[in-house]
């Protein structure tokens, strides 16, 4: 663990100082006897007995927490967490009787100190009993209220939890750090018109005085506080059993319960897959009855009570979903699916998010990182397992077509000097919140994919099963994973594993998987992977072919004009490459700054990072890029779609750091006129569209329109091939939606004409006409251009119960050129009545991409900053998304100065130290450098092609 260990407290009223200038003072003015953000380890919780009584009329709750403690060192105090909570009574239940404890509160660290006038003795068991009360949270964290509107317009309320990362302390007093695992027995008091659900099955319901009911839930397995969950609502549910005997239920508001069937089937299928893949039943039971399951690959199960796997769609939810053990929670758009009105991309997204949260039941819940510095052990694995699981269980979704995009997204953040290592020290809640970013999720997944390719999928699978079995119900650090993945076949744990694992190991070839990479060395996973997790950024590998020699060198890829910032970085890079002379994938572990490979013969071209399985970029020096351009022009299908996408990505990114001229990258892009595969096509758009988006924020319409015309011309053939219907594979359908939307936004006449016709027909039918799902975004965007069309779209949005349809309408309305409508949308999203406040970030960022609305979005963000950081929390991914999203397309010194002026005026309490602010400065500075360097080249190159671009007015 990278965080310094805490000193254990032994009878001292105050710990050694950690550098604070003044000792902390409690709210009553007394000295607070602990001055660290992290809790002392003198005591730890074993079991929580928790009773919660939420009032959905006053939006207030009361509760009682009895916490059984294990004392590790003699002490006279217990320090734990509580945030914005009134504590009315605290008792110590000791072996020698019951006595009150003195309570001191230190709100800055969200801590309570419970002081005893006698010693709590090491090895003895104690309980503390705390009575507390609080209001529902005003944000989407902690125990908060949610609401929804019925078809008749009635507003109904519910209460739900979201405790990750540091918000359980706002719902009940607790040891709110992931290493303090304990069991929880939960009781919820409610009105008869509601139901309550929690992590575990309900054991019984007791009638209380006043007509209230108290639901008693079974005791959980040992787990961290951030995984506790409970919901009080009027939800309905549908249920099914998995092959392995787990009951899965999906909960939603009554009027949307008919949209839960797909999620239920997906959850059943995916939980069975994980049960088999990880070779650990869900969850790993310890005792109980033997239940024979003939349909299972496991001969028997040990279980006393079926541990549930419930999924709940929450009307107000900030993140996409949350992996609470036994009760995963989701945005409605992330769970609800209408077979007639949801798109192919909706199906893909919903299946991925369910796969992600169910993977967490093992990675994160069963085995949990010791501290938030290693969050990637949870999130990187869950993101990675989305793709592993769906590739096998839902091959028709072609999930491989979309994984590469996650690596590109991670590289975007990781190419800035403000990036951070995958595993990085964090302490306060804001820093912890900032860990939930593309580095922890997407980079984590991409380096795991690289490691899997490096080790072979078979040995990688054995290693992670070994890791999960060895550390079940425990907490881990990076090194535990690397140890499990080293010498994967040397483990007694595999004796109980599946036969195929034993057979694979008996072949004797898995443990030496590295031999195909670097024949002189044993596999040293820790040494290799430390270079990828303990330092930020990623390598740029430069390749120069001289005859039969391939000269290799590595450096950090960094978007900066300060060369010193790239020094001191070295990775162990699992290189893969293929050549014109052989279809074989060759492998080599690059350990030093430079090295040389020798080919058996001279070749026409060489392509490194085959299928982009590695998390690194490649620069082809000398004639390297020209040879690749010729290859793509002659027969691009020689390379895979992923290889082509990675070349497009790499060449344009290398322009940003001056390694490649812009005209070289544009010459490579010419082959895209013959491209049909989704990953390569969307990456082409991903590199070309931002160029004119930068110009939209400047007064340079002529060049901007030339660039837009070039892109339309490049993809015209593919756009013209698209049917205005739902047909083809998932990838083909997603691509169709993407292409037609682009064409209509860019005013491509055939697209606009068709979309206008369909919108008018749909409007004339009062929205009852059934539009092909995949083309609705294009139709809605064109329709929202007029006041009448926009108002009609909004009216349908307001009354729709189909979440995916509402989402498409919402985005289409943000693309409108009607400035007053854009301002109104942001204001209404903030108020949260006719449009949900949870949708505000998407609305603001989408409007910021609109050439009519970009300044409106920035002005809105500034004017409402304090409200936004209170609602969405400092350091959260949501706040970061708004900050970077709204500012990422600015490229002038004037706007940089304006943005610096605003963020520079903030205090630490209002976010001045957030990483996303530094990312914003770096991104705009990079945009400015790009424009200053490349605009003349772009103008010259487009001028040469003017005669081939008849649509300059687009």
Alpha-carbon gap, residue 595 to 543, rounded angstroms: 10
- The DSSP string of 657-719 is TTSS-HHHHHHHHGGGGG---HHHHHHHHHHHHHHHHHHHTTT-HHHHHHHHHHHHHHHHHHH
Q: Are 655 and 691 in contact (CB under 8 A)?
A: no
53 is in an annotated binding site: no
- Write out pLDDT tens, residues 567-625: 899 999 999 999 999 889 999 999 999 999 999 999 999 999 999 999 999 999 999 99
- pLDDT recorded at residue 7: 27
Q: Looking at the predicted structure, is the pLDDT value of residue 256 above 70?
A: yes
Alpha-carbon gap, residue 813 to 878, rounded angstroms: 21
Q: Tell me the backbone φ, ψ of residue 136, rounded to 5 degrees.
A: -60, 145
- pLDDT recorded at residue 524: 87
Among the listed residues 23, 21, 43, 42, the one whose alpha carbon sits nearest the alpha carbon of residue 34: 23
Q: Are 100 and 71 in contact (CB under 8 A)?
A: no
Q: Tell me the backbone φ, ψ of residue 556, rounded to 5 degrees.
A: -75, 135
Among the listed residues 871, 118, 432, the one whose alpha carbon sits nearest the alpha carbon of residue 844: 871
379 is in an annotated binding site: yes
Q: Are 398 and 731 in contact (CB under 8 A)?
A: yes
User: What is the mean pLDDT of the segment spanning 261-288?
Assistant: 85
Alpha-carbon gap, residue 143 to 135, rounded angstroms: 9
In a 10 Å sphere around its CB, with 0-12 CB exposed, 13-18 middle and 19+ buried, how is residue 31 labelled? middle
The mean pLDDT value of the chain amounts to 90
- Write out pLDDT tens, residues 862-903: 999 999 999 999 999 999 999 999 999 999 999 999 999 999
121 DSSP assignment? P
Angle between helices 819-831 and 803-814 (to 10 degrees): 140
Q: Looking at the predicted structure, is the pLDDT value of residue 424 above 70?
A: yes
Query: With bands split at pLDDT 50, 70 and 90, how would you rate the model's confidence at 946?
Result: confident
Alpha-carbon gap, residue 687 to 665, rounded angstroms: 10
Q: Within a 10 A sphere around the Cβ of 490, how many other Cβ atoms?
A: 10
- pLDDT recorded at residue 232: 98
Angle between helices 915-944 and 701-721 (to 10 degrees): 80
- Write out pLDDT tens, residues 644-702: 999 999 999 999 999 999 999 999 999 999 999 999 999 999 999 999 999 998 888 99
Cα 752 from chain centroid? 35
Q: Find all residues with CB under 8 Å of 136, minimum gap 6, and list them.
A: 54, 59, 60, 61, 142, 143, 144, 145, 159
Residue 78 has which token pair?
Answer: 């217990």
Tell me if residue 633 falls in helix, strand or coil. Answer: helix
Q: Looking at the predicted structure, is the pLDDT value of residue 299 above 60?
A: no
Tell me if residue 116 falls in helix, strand or coil. Answer: strand
- pLDDT recorded at residue 284: 52
- pLDDT recorded at residue 415: 96
Q: Tell me the backbone φ, ψ of residue 696, rounded to 5 degrees.
A: -65, -25
Q: Looking at the predicted structure, is the pLDDT value of residue 519 above 60?
A: no
Q: Looking at the predicted structure, is the pLDDT value of residue 306 above 80?
A: no
- Looking at the chain, the whole-number percentage of residues with pLDDT higher than 90 is 86
Query: With bands split at pLDDT 50, 70 and 90, how would you rate the model's confidence at 564?
Result: confident
Least confident range from 2-11, 238-247, 579-588, 601-610: namely 2-11
In a 10 Å sphere around its CB, with 0-12 CB exposed, 13-18 middle and 19+ buried, how is residue 300 labelled? exposed
- pLDDT recorded at residue 562: 84
Alpha-carbon gap, residue 485 to 476, rounded angstroms: 14
- Write out pLDDT tens, residues 932-943: 999 999 999 999
Query: With bands split at pLDDT 50, 70 and 90, how would you rate the model's confidence at 163?
Result: very high
Alpha-carbon gap, residue 106 to 129, rounded angstroms: 19
Among the listed residues 114, 137, 138, 135, the one whose alpha carbon sits nearest the alpha carbon of residue 126: 114
Alpha-carbon gap, residue 657 to 454, rounded angstroms: 29
Among the listed residues 136, 191, 193, the one whose alpha carbon sits nearest the alpha carbon of residue 162: 136
Among the listed residues 605, 684, 701, 695, the one whose alpha carbon sits nearest the alpha carbon of residue 650: 684
- Looking at the chain, the whole-number percentage of residues with pLDDT higher than 70 is 91
Q: Looking at the predicted structure, is the pLDDT value of residue 498 above 90?
A: no
Does the annotation count 357 as an active-site position?
yes
360 is in an annotated binding site: yes
User: What is the mean pLDDT of the segment spanning 729-756?
Assistant: 96
Q: Find all residues with CB under 8 Å of 409, minimum gap 6, and list them.
A: 438, 442
- The DSSP string of 546-558 is ETTEEEEEEEE--
Give, in order, the Cα–Cα distances in Å from 41 to each of 7, 8, 306, 426, 896. Answer: 8, 6, 34, 18, 46
Strand extents, DSSP E, 283-422? 289-292, 300-303, 309-314, 321-322, 327-331, 367-369
Q: Which domains does the chain carry? A: 24-234 (2.60.40.1730), 374-531 (1.10.390.10), 537-669 (2.60.40.1910), 722-816 (no CATH), 817-953 (1.25.50.20)
Q: Which residues on adjacent β-strands are paired with residue 552?
A: 543, 595
Q: Looking at the predicted structure, is the pLDDT value of residue 489 above 80?
A: no
Query: With bands split at pLDDT 50, 70 and 90, how would you rate the model's confidence at 301?
Result: very low
Alpha-carbon gap, residue 603 to 480, rounded angstroms: 43
Cα 534 from chain centroid? 20
Of 177, 323, 332, 357, the catalytic one is: 357
């Amino acid at each position: 663990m990278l965080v310094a260990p805490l000193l254990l407290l032994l009878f001292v009223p105050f710990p050694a100082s950690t550098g604070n200038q003044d000792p902390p003072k409690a709210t009553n003015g007394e000295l607070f006897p602990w001055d660290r953000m992290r809790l002392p380890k003198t005591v730890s919780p074993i079991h929580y007995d928790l009773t919660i009584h939420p009032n959905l009329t006053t939006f207030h709750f009361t509760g009682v927490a009895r916490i059984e403690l294990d004392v590790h060192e003699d002490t006279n105090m217990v320090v734990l967490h509580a945030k914005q909570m009134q504590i009315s009574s605290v008792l110590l239940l000791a072996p020698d009787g019951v006595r009150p404890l003195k309570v001191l509160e230190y709100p800055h660290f969200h801590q309570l100190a419970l002081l005893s006038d006698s010693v709590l003795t090491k090895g003895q068991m104690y309980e503390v009993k705390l009575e507390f009360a609080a209001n529902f949270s005003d944000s989407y964290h902690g125990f908060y209220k949610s609401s929804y509107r019925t078809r008749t317009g009635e507003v109904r309320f519910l209460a739900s939890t979201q405790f990750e990362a540091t918000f359980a302390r706002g719902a009940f007093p607790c040891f709110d750090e992931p290493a303090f695992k304990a069991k929880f027995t939960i009781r919820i008091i409610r009105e008869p018109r509601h139901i309550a659900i929690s992590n575990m099955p309900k054991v019984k319901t007791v009638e209380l005085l006043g007509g209230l009911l108290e639901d008693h839930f079974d005791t959980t397995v040992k787990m961290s506080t951030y995984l506790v969950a409970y919901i009080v609502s009027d939800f309905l549910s549908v249920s099914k059993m998995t092959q392995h005997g787990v009951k899965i239920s999906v909960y939603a508001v009554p009027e949307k319960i008919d949209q839960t069937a797909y999620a239920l089937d997906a959850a059943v299928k995916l939980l069975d897959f994980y049960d088999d893949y990880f070779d650990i039943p869900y969850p790993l039971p310890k005792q109980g009855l033997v239940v024979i399951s003939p349909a299972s690959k496991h001969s028997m199960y040990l279980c006393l009570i079926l541990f549930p796997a419930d999924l709940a769609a929450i009307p107000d939810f900030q993140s996409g979903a949350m992996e609470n053990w036994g009760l995963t929670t989701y945005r409605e758009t992330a769970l609800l699916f209408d077979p007639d009105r949801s798109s192919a991309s909706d199906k893909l997204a919903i299946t991925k998010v369910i796969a992600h949260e169910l993977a967490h039941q093992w990675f994160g819940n069963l085995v949990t990182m010791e501290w938030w510095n290693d969050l990637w052990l949870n999130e990187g694995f869950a993101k990675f397992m989305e793709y592993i699981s769906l590739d096998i269980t839902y091959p028709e979704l072609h999930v491989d077509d979309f994984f590469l995009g996650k690596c590109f997204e991670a590289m975007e953040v990781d190419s800035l000097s403000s990036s951070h290592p995958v595993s990085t020290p964090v302490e306060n809640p804001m820093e912890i919140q900032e860990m939930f970013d593309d580095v922890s999720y997407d980079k984590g997944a991409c380096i795991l994919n690289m490691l899997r390719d490096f080790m072979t999928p078979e040995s990688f699978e054995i290693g992670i099963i070994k890791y999960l079995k060895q550390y079940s119900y425990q907490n881990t650090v990076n090194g535990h994973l690397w140890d499990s993945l080293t010498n994967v076949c040397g483990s007694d744990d595999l004796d109980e594993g599946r036969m195929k694992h034993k057979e694979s190991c008996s072949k004797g070839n898995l443990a030496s998987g590295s031999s195909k990479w670097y024949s002189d060395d044993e596999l040293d996973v820790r040494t290799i992977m430390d270079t990828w997790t303990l330092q930020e950024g990623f390598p740029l590998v430069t390749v120069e072919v001289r005859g039969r020699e391939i000269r290799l060198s590595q450096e950090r890829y960094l978007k900066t004009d300060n060369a010193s910032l790239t020094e001191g970085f070295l990775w162990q890079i699992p290189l893969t490459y293929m050549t014109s002379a052989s279809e074989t994938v060759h492998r080599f572990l690059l350990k030093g700054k430079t090295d040389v490979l020798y080919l058996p013969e001279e070749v026409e071209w060489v392509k490194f990072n085959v299928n982009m399985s590695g998390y690194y970029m490649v620069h082809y020096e000398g004639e390297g890029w020209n040879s690749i351009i010729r290859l793509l022009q002659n027969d691009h299908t020689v390379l895979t779609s992923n290889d082509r996408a990675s070349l497009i990505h790499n060449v344009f990114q290398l322009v940003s750091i001056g390694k490649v001229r812009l005209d070289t990258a544009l010459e490579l892009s010419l082959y895209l006129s013959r491209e049909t595969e989704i990953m390569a096509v969307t990456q082409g758009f991903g590199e070309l569209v931002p160029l004119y988006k930068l110009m939209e924020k400047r007064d340079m319409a002529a060049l901007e329109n030339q660039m837009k015309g070039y892109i339309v011309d490049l993809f015209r053939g593919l756009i013209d091939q698209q049917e205005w219907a739902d047909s083809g594979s998932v990838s083909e359908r997603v691509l169709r939606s993407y292409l037609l939307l682009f064409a209509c936004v860019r005013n491509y006449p055939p697209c606009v004409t068709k979309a206008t016709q369909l919108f008018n027909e749909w409007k004339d039918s009062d929205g009852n006409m059934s539009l092909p799902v995949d083309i609705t975004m294009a139709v809605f965007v064109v329709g929202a251009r007029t006041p009448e069309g926009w108002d009609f779209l909004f009216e349908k949005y307001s009354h729709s119960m189909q979440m995916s349809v509402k989402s498409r309408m919402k985005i289409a309305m943000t693309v409108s050129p009607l400035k007053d409508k854009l301002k109104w949308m942001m204001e209404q999203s903030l108020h949260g009545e006719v449009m949900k406040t949870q949708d505000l970030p998407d609305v603001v960022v989408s409007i910021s991409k609109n050439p009519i609305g970009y300044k409106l979005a920035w002005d809105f963000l500034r004017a409402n900053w304090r409200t936004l950081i209170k609602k969405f929390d400092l350091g959260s991914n949501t706040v970061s998304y708004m900050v970077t999203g709204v500012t990422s397309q600015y490229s002038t010194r004037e706007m940089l100065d304006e943005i610096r002026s605003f963020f520079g005026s903030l205090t630490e309490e209002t976010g001045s130290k957030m990483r996303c602010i530094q990312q914003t400065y770096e991104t705009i500075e990079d945009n400015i450098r790009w424009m200053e360097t490349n605009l003349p080249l772009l103008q010259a190159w487009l001028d040469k092609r003017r005669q081939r671009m008849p649509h300059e007015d687009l």
